[in-house]
Amino acid sequence: MPLRTIGQILRTYGHRPEHKSLGPDGSKAGSSIAGQLSRRPIRSGQEITILIGKEGNRLLERVTGEITDTADYRATYADPDRNQWLRLVLPILREIRDIAGTKYVAERVGLSDRQVRNWLAERDEPHAGPTQNRQRAERLAVEWATNGLQAEGRRVPADLYAVLYAYRTTGEE
């Protein structure tokens, strides 16, 4: 991203979207909205909260384009109580098993029934490495949750873990 002057930033300031607010009619607030804005409601929970550290690291490399991937400069802190596999993915995989069977889950993920049963019993947890087992299991859970949210006429969040959280908290509003 090229550096911008203060004048360039100020000229575009009034045209940027207002992500934290809604227009008077409940639509997204942007430069064409007139009237009093209201706060955009949000829902969140521990399971989808990510703790990140200071993003002021490696500023020179970022400005020059040497580093573009946030993983190269952002510190992310894991909280063992916020394990997304155990709190979000696994309950949905168990629901899929209860409705469609272990064989269905195993076929969709591309593994044996035995391996899936080990996951569901918490005797094992899939790895996110070269086998992509965890990613395939998460995609299955997200697909199931997305279909469930759509069937209820609910909005489907963009973030994958937020989809799982929204599905798991259905009816708690």
| Residue 54 neighbours by CB distance under 10 Å | 8
Angle, CA of 75, 81 and 85, to the nearest 5°: 85
Q: Which residue has the tokens 């990613």?
A: 135
pTM recorded for the entire structure: 0.66
Q: What are the E-state strand segments in 1-149?
A: 18-22, 28-29, 38-39, 51-52, 76-77
Q: What is the pLDDT of residue 80?
A: 63
Q: What is the pLDDT of residue 76?
A: 74
Average pLDDT, the chain: 85
